[in-house]
Amino acid sequence: MSNYHIKHLEEYFQVYRKSVRNPESFWEEIAEEHFVWRKRWNKVLEWDFKKPEIKWFEGAQLNITENCIDRHLSTRSHKTAILFEPNNPKEKSQKITYFQLYERVNQFANVLREQGIQKGDRVCIYLPMIPELAVSLLACARIGAVHSVVFAGFSATALSIRINDSDSKMVITSDGSFRGEKTTDLKGIVDDALEKSPCVKSVLVVKRTNSNIFMKEGRDLWIQPLLDKASKICQMEIMDAEDPLFILYTSGSTGMPKGMLHTIAGYMVYTAYTFKNVFQYREDDVFWCTADIGWITGHSYIVYGPLANGATTVMFEGIPSYPDFGRFWEIIEKHKITQFYTAPTAIRALAKENLEYVEKYDLSSIKVLGTVGEPINEEAWHWYNNNVGKKHSPIVDTWWQTETGGILISPIPFATPTKPTYATLPLPGIQPVIMDKNGKEITENQVDGRLCIKFPWPAIARTIWGNHERYRETYFSTYKKKYFTGDGALRDEVGYYRITGRVDDVIIVSGHNLGTAPIEDAINQHPAVAESAIVGFPHDIKGNALYGFVILKETGESRVHENVRIEINQIIAEHIGPIAKLDKIQFTSGLPKTRSGKIMRRILRKIANNDFNNLGDTTTLLNPEVVQEIIDNAL
């Protein structure tokens, strides 16, 4: 019997028990029955969390695009694979069938090959949410190139850092992007980035906004004329199971962003399996995940997971507030969306608007609702449940990470009873544990602590590109033989998990992971700034917002302070992107430090949260007097 599709709670428990008792045979059965392999594996799993080394389906050969496209052609050739909804509702939506996708990916892959891209080369993709974005990922995968998508909201500096770290040979971009009323000159950002990225030899440009852009002779090419000439047949590269599929950067507590490396077979099996179960996907469903493909959610649940199941997946170019706050609901009605997957920050923003925006549209097609990226607060959960799901569509609160490749903890709709703010139960194959302060596993229920996973699952990232030691140190050194997630969690009396948030210096703002270190580095580049520290504080819509404590080299008049405030946010936008701007900036004469010179962020966090009473023992600080000054001037 196949374990592939769980339909009720009893079945979930049965399948879960089996997956834990014998993970190898569990995943082997799924891999065998639901995918196309060019060569079978020798061994299902090899792992050692100490080294760390994780290998799934070693010895197997395949191409993920054969699984996501070619194999559907005999039965789903005319079915819509990608449904593109443009930013402007007046522009027509596009339905790309599986056959058209096949041809477009092949042409794109042929162009990449003609331009000298070979198996193993890294290709940086910096595109808005247009069909070419999905097509370019698949085209890379077709020829065995490793894609590294950079979210098109990142600045030139952030883009350049990621291009250099991955040593990308090519950038794929567009003349510009449309988001709401705004047109952004993406090609200009790429031009700036490439001044510091000599590894890039060529740039392929998609026409989207028809902006007048600069094309550098010998480096930049419009892609359309090349596609028009390219063959619609492209022989796929036969890849090893553990060959790299993509690099995707995520923020760390310190230093450079981490280029998480995902490999082909395990990622494919896991994203396909979780897509099918978490969204209870059925053949004629129309699935919409509102994430950007620049993040892992888009990779796994707009592109690979849905296409591996032969699903119809929606790509939306725009934003929820354009032309008005009814845009999401209008799209659900228009395309009869059956599963809708979004972020709590979007729900909170839309819940603030007039209910008429939701009520105006027929949302009866919806069967399952999902959230991802940050904890969902109770109020937002109920608003979503009452007004979008009309109390009959289960909400799947899906917990996972860039590093995990796919969803690890989530209800299975119509099987797992949901509970507001709880991600509920681990999916089959996932063995979460809660650790106490002393590094010991807590086995009983009704506890909280730090969340780890004690057994590998197929989609776990295999390394940090170019820095395996950092991978070991970040995820496998805190707790012996366990993957440490960096999240706090509690487990209730029935074993349901609730994720309480990051326990490190990563702050999630509007669902985007931001590391404090790069933001502080950016601020410190302002000539008037001596030192800075960033912490998060609760925000109604964004979940968290950023609070900066800044020491100026010279304290001047308040007029000067105002200018510096504006300039600090400009520097942050230039170095990282507008998403990392600070909501509050407090100037101070000092920062609370330990005797070894480390900033005590715990104290700053409390002050930013207006929690002045429980600051703990401050007498051991190097400079305890500064705490009162910071409290007195808190914003």
Please identify, among the stretches 218-226, 227-235, 358-366, 399-407, the one whose residues bind ligand PRX according to the rule CB under 6 A: 399-407
d(CA 599, CA 138): 45
Q: Which of 144, 373, 432, 592 binds ligand PRX (CB under 6 A)?
A: 373
Among 280, 345, 401, 416, binds ligand PRX (CB under 6 A): 401
Secondary structure (3-state) at 629: helix
Q: Which is nearer to ligand PRX, 123 or 278 (CB)?
A: 278
> 209-224: buried (b, 16+ CB within 10 Å) or exposed (e) per residue?
bebebeeeeeebbebe
| 8 A C-beta contact, residue 172 and residue 159 | no
Which range, of 77-85, 218-226, 400-408, 465-473, touches ligand PRX by CB under 6 A? 400-408
DSSP-derived pairing of the beta strands 177-179 and 182-184: antiparallel
Q: Of 112 and 289, which CB lies nearer to ligand PRX in the complex structure?
A: 289
Q: Are 189 and 159 in contact (CB under 8 A)?
A: yes
Q: Which is nearer to ligand PRX, 133 or 260 (CB)?
A: 260
CB 247 within 8 A of CB 465: yes
Render 388-449 in DSSP notation, one character per residue.
ISTTTS-EEEEB--GGGSS--B-PPTTTSPP-TT--BSBPTT--EEEE-TTS-EE-SSSEEE
Per CB under 6 A, contacts with ligand PRX among 213-252 are: 250
Position among 44, 245, 264, 508 found at the interface with ligand PRX (CB under 6 A): 508
> Of these, 399, 455, 475, 537, which contacts ligand PRX (CB under 6 A)?
399
| Binding flag, residue 191, ligand PRX (CB under 6 A) | no
Q: Whole-number minimum distance, CB 347 to ligand PRX, in Å?
A: 12
CB of 608 to ligand PRX, least distance (A): 18
Residue 326 tokens read as: 């009814």
Instruction: State which of positions 297-336 bind ligand PRX (CB under 6 A).
Output: 297
> Which of 72, 299, 502, 575 touches ligand PRX by CB under 6 A?
502
Task: Evaluate whether 170 touches 201 at the Cβ level (below 8 Å).
Answer: yes
Q: Give the one residue of 60, 311, 351, 423 binding ligand PRX; rule: CB under 6 A.
A: 423
Minimum distance from CB of 194 to ligand PRX (Å)? 26
- Alpha carbon distances (Å) from 501 to 233, 488, 564, 616: 47, 6, 31, 21
Helix axes 186-194, 156-166, angle to 10 degrees: 60
| Residue nearer to ligand PRX on the CB measure, 174 or 513 | 513
How many Å apart are CA 65 and CA 401, to the nearest integer? 24
Neighbouring-strand partners of residue 448 = 490
CB of 543 to ligand PRX, least distance (A): 9
Sign of torsion, CA 22 26 29 32?
Answer: negative
What's 70's DSSP letter?
G
| 62 versus 423: smaller Cβ distance to ligand PRX | 423
Residue type, 103: E
Per CB under 6 A, the list member of 513, 544, 569, 588 interacting with ligand PRX is: 513
Please say whether the beta carbons of 579 and 512 come within 8 A. Answer: yes
487 lines the binding site for ligand PRX (CB under 6 A) = yes
* 206 near ligand PRX, rule: CB under 6 A: no
- In the bound state with ligand PRX, the residue whose beta carbon lies nearer, of 16 and 483, is 483
Q: Build a one-symbol-per-residue string for 261-290: x at contacts with ligand PRX by CB under 6 A, - elsewhere.
A: ------------------------------
Footprint of ligand PRX (CB under 6 A)? 250, 296-297, 372-375, 397-402, 423, 485-487, 499, 502, 508, 513
